[in-house]
Structure 1
Amino acid sequence: MGEQPAGVAGKRRLRTVIIVAVVAVAAYFGGRALGLWGADDGRLKLYGNVEIREVQLGFRVGGRIDRILVDEGDMVKPGEVLARLDTRPIDDRLAGADARYEAASASASRDVNGLRPQEIGSARAAVTAAEARLAEARRQFDRRRALVDKGFISRADVQTAEAEVQAATAALATARNQLSLAEEGVRAEDRAASAATRNVAEAERRAVQTDLSDAYLIAVEGGQVLTRAREAGAIVQPGQTVLTLALTQPVRVRAYVSGADLPKIRPGMSVTVSTDGTTQTWPAKIGFISGVAEFTPKTVQTEQLRTDLVYRVRLTVEDPTGALRQGQPVTVHVPASGKR
């Protein structure tokens, strides 16, 4: 009567085994969560966010927007035209600048080349004619001076002939000076001045050409359009934001490491990055470790609240599909081996 049936004893033993197993499993996983088991395996977790990389795009010149060729959410490539201004005012300025440059260039070329042979020939002919007039004036003066002594003409006629000789002499000197200038060409100072005028006109034309190219808003880097701040027809000032572009490649993560864990990482180390809500991981490399300590930012969420000094780490993530979003919290898994 004091002995228990075999079935009852077996059930008690089974119940005891189950209870022990449950306690063991709970102790194991609880210890892992508290860092009691496997805490010294060398693996490290860092916490951070995908960096927000945005650029505010605007025209360097003011004007009226003619067209905006992209919309919010569109992916753009480097060199793609995103928007453009009405270029008619700039085209008119360019036409005027072209005309001024052509005129200044023609003047500079004329000064360098000098007078044409026909103009020099005309100057020589003018000297010959002046010499002939002077010879005739002297002949008339000599004839009248001989006649005045005989009383055939008055002394006033002689004085008139003498004045004509002086005028012919002056005209000959002027003609000879004009021939000398024609043969010598333009002065060096005048050539330098005309060349400078041409350079000013050329610089003005280049400036207008630059304004014309700046009337097209071109993506320097690839990315995604986040905001379309202006619409076609709007008048914008230079530098006013028209589009906001998120730079999607390369994907960069900013994480933080404590001073105690700093020796476990180094630039160029291969790591993996994960985020909440998915089991997918992304390969990454540590590219930069700050040499200046700072307090843990409020945006970094870890298992335990840390107030110790940390060091900023920047990583480059391979994410060709664009699954990671800017500002998204991520976890960086540093392998125990620390292989590159």
Structure 2
Amino acid sequence: MKWIQKHKRLVVIVLFVSVLCCIGWSFYQQKNHKKELVLYGNVDIRQVSLAFNGSGRIHEMLKNEGDKVAKGDVLATLDARPLEIAIDKAEAAIAAQEAQVQKLYNGTRSEEIVEAQSRVEALMAEENNAHTYYGRMLQLLESGAVSQQAVDNAEARWKGAEANLNYAKATLHKANNGARSEDILAAEAQLKSLQATLDSYKYNLSQTTLVAPDDGLIRSRLSEVGDMASPQAPVYILSLTSPKWIRAYVTEDRLGEIHEGMKAKVYIDSFPNEFIEGQIGYISHTAEFTPKNVQTENLRTALVYEVRIYVDDIHNRLRIGMPATIKF
């Protein structure tokens, strides 16, 4: 006691410094506690409805609900036989048309010209005979030796022979002069049309296979083998799993504490003592009322901003829709 009275001034100083230290420590703790930011969110659900691009009967359904798929995996197929038959027919038609076009370019062979000339000469003789016979019938009609019907038949025979001769002459002229440019252009246009039809069949054949557009999980299987498929009828619902992110919300008063690229630790109830590394990849520029599925009640009536935290889930622990806690 005597010592305290003797060193009263020193004791007062020590007590004052101790009080200041306590106040400073308390302020430091409060400041640090305020800087700690904790957000709550869920693993985002992103779904794709998968349907065939064309119509047809489903031949195979290769995946079931819950199956994991990788980008490019075949999920289902349509019966391709009708298109395969159509392709065979189109290829045969193209081959025939290509030969026709080549024939027009090459012109008529000398043997064909000789054959056409011989046909013209034969038809000239036939036409001359028919004309002579018709003249004789007219003379006999005047004397009453034949009926009008016989004359009419003779005239019809002559007109037919004349028509055949004219056609043969035109064929010979074409053989001697080659195909007209208009004929060649028409034949080439027909060839292009057939090739376009074949390309269309081949494209439709490629669309008889339904593949996964990205890594994911089959959430729903909506059709079965034997069902009729169409572009309007989804076959699977695929939940995308890459990349994964947590959708969370931050209030306006804490918005200034975060930024894109900021590192974060993501905790889930299944592994409470471990965290998954992540970083902020998106911060919304528009305020909204807190969605109903947010876990914390004190945020549900506040204006908040959406935040996406992209995670590197190397052990595949996160499941679609799973709640998560994010600490910065």
- Normalising by structure 1, we get a TM-score of 0.65
Residue 290 in 1 paired to residue 287 in 2? Answer: no
Offset at residue 180 of structure 1 (A): 6.8
| Matched residue, 2:268 | 275
Q: Secondary structure at the match of 2:179?
A: coil
8 Å Cα contact 1:270-1:283 kept in structure 2:
yes
| Matched residue, 1:304 | 298
Offset at residue 210 of structure 1 (A): 1.6
In structure 2, relative to structure 1, the CA distance for the partners of 1:100 and 1:238 (3 Å cut) is farther
Offset at residue 301 of structure 1 (A): 2.1
Alignment partner of 2:234 out of 231, 235, 241: 241
| Matched residue, 1:331 | 325
Q: Which runs of 4+ in 1 moved over 4 A?
A: 38-41, 117-127, 177-184
Residue 88 in 1 paired to residue 81 in 2? Answer: yes
Offset at residue 80 of structure 1 (A): 1.6
Q: What CA distance in whole angstroms lies between the structure 2 residues aligned with 1:221 and 1:201?
A: 36
Q: What CA distance in whole angstroms lies between the structure 1 residues aligned with 2:221 and 2:171?
A: 69
Q: What CA distance in whole angstroms lies between the structure 2 residues aligned with 1:39 and 1:298?
A: 30
8 Å Cα contact 1:248-1:322 kept in structure 2:
no
In structure 2, relative to structure 1, the CA distance for the partners of 1:261 and 1:182 (3 Å cut) is farther
Offset at residue 318 of structure 1 (A): 0.7
Alignment of 1:131-170 (within 5 A): none
The superposition leaves residues 15-36 of structure 1 with CA deviations (integer Å, 9 ceiling, x where unpaired) of: xxxxxxxxxxxxxxxx9xxxx8
Q: What CA distance in whole angstroms lies between the structure 1 residues aligned with 2:258 and 2:114?
A: 89
Residue 265 in 1 paired to residue 258 in 2? Answer: yes
In structure 2, relative to structure 1, the CA distance for the partners of 1:43 and 1:188 (3 Å cut) is farther
Alignment partner of 1:77 out of 51, 70, 75: 70
Q: What CA distance in whole angstroms lies between the structure 2 residues aligned with 1:61 and 1:45?
A: 49
The superposition leaves residues 251-310 of structure 1 with CA deviations (integer Å, 9 ceiling, x where unpaired) of: 122222222222222222222212234322111122222222222211222262353322
| Matched residue, 1:221 | 214
| Matched residue, 1:20 | none
In structure 2, relative to structure 1, the CA distance for the partners of 1:111 and 1:324 (3 Å cut) is same
Deviates more, 1:265-274 or 1:37-46: 37-46
Q: What CA distance in whole angstroms lies between the structure 2 residues aligned with 1:229 and 1:92?
A: 29
What amino acid does structure 1 have at the position aligned with 2:212?
A
8 Å Cα contact 1:80-1:219 kept in structure 2:
yes
8 Å Cα contact 1:61-1:239 kept in structure 2:
no
8 Å Cα contact 1:291-1:311 kept in structure 2:
yes
| Matched residue, 1:197 | 190
Higher helix proportion (structure 1 or 2): 2
The superposition leaves residues 39-73 of structure 1 with CA deviations (integer Å, 9 ceiling, x where unpaired) of: 55523222222111122222222222222222222
What amino acid does structure 2 have at the position aligned with 1:311?
Y
| Matched residue, 1:62 | 55
Alignment partner of 2:205 out of 199, 202, 212: 212
Q: What CA distance in whole angstroms lies between the structure 2 residues aligned with 1:226 and 1:182?
A: 69
Q: Secondary structure at the match of 2:304?
A: strand
Residue 186 in 1 paired to residue 179 in 2? Answer: yes
Q: Secondary structure at the match of 2:298?
A: coil
8 Å Cα contact 1:254-1:314 kept in structure 2:
yes
In structure 2, relative to structure 1, the CA distance for the partners of 1:246 and 1:182 (3 Å cut) is same
What amino acid does structure 2 have at the position aligned with 1:215?
T
In structure 2, relative to structure 1, the CA distance for the partners of 1:109 and 1:272 (3 Å cut) is farther
Q: What CA distance in whole angstroms lies between the structure 2 residues aligned with 1:242 and 1:37?
A: 56
8 Å Cα contact 1:58-1:239 kept in structure 2:
yes
Q: Percent of counterpart pairs with the same letter?
A: 39
Alignment partner of 1:316 out of 286, 310, 321: 310
Aligned length: 258
Deviates more, 1:285-294 or 1:39-48: 39-48
Q: What CA distance in whole angstroms lies between the structure 1 residues aligned with 2:109 and 2:247?
A: 74
Alignment partner of 1:98 out of 86, 91, 100: 91
What amino acid does structure 2 have at the position aligned with 1:283?
E
In structure 2, relative to structure 1, the CA distance for the partners of 1:265 and 1:190 (3 Å cut) is farther
What amino acid does structure 2 have at the position aligned with 1:272?
K
Q: What CA distance in whole angstroms lies between the structure 2 residues aligned with 1:205 and 1:318?
A: 47
What amino acid does structure 2 have at the position aligned with 1:251?
K
In structure 2, relative to structure 1, the CA distance for the partners of 1:38 and 1:229 (3 Å cut) is same
Aligned Cα RMSD in Å? 3.1
Q: What CA distance in whole angstroms lies between the structure 2 residues aligned with 1:75 and 1:57?
A: 15
Q: What CA distance in whole angstroms lies between the structure 1 residues aligned with 2:205 and 2:56?
A: 11
